[in-house]
Amino acid sequence: MTIFLSTWVLPLMFIMHDFEEMIVMPIWKRRHHRLISGMDKPFFGPVGNGQAFTAGVLEEMCILLAVSLVSGLTGNLTLYLVFCVAYTAHFIMHFRMCAQIRGYVPGVVSAALQTPVMLLLIVVLWRLDDSSLLVYTLYQLLALAFVVANLKVMHGLMPRIESAFLVYAENR
């Protein structure tokens, strides 16, 4: 039961982090439009519409809920651990973006506050997990490949989602 309950920490952390992004990202992108428009790969993808970004967040949340549910029900700590590591590793991107523009980017405050908590969770899970280093490494490589591929797909879909939302809003 304890393992089942502890596997819900990651989705809760994700919600808090992504609320910061969802609330601030649209106005931040509007404020920093000139800076972002000059980038080859603009921060937070090509969309400025908060609803389209939130649709991507919802999809990622469903994945984390599925990972947490499967991990909790099966006791598979390795699966949960690798997604905790992937989630925590993405904080580096927020810190790098801040350094690049020498200022605030959406998500960096929650990333800074969550880093110690997530590192502690990772250490505890690592000690509890009885998987071999080879199994852990394979899981981690697969999880990272999945996360990166999913992010690319969602960033590709978000402009279409944004267009569909705009069409829906304008049609009566």
Instruction: Domain of residue 36: give its range.
Output: 2-170
Q: Which amino acid is at 47?
A: V
Q: Which residue bears the tokens 């992010």?
A: 151
Q: pLDDT tens digits for 80-117?
A: 999 999 999 999 999 998 998 899 999 999 999 999 99
User: Do the Cβ atoms of 95 and 111 come closer than 8 Å?
Assistant: yes
Long-range contacts, 63-66 (Cβ 8 Å, 24+): 63/150, 64/10, 64/11, 64/14, 65/11
Q: What CA–CA distance (Å, rounded) separates 71 from 42?
A: 34
Percent of the chain beyond pLDDT 90? 60
Q: pLDDT tens digits for 121-155?
A: 999 999 999 999 999 999 999 999 999 999 889 88
**What is the tally of structural domains in the chain?**
1
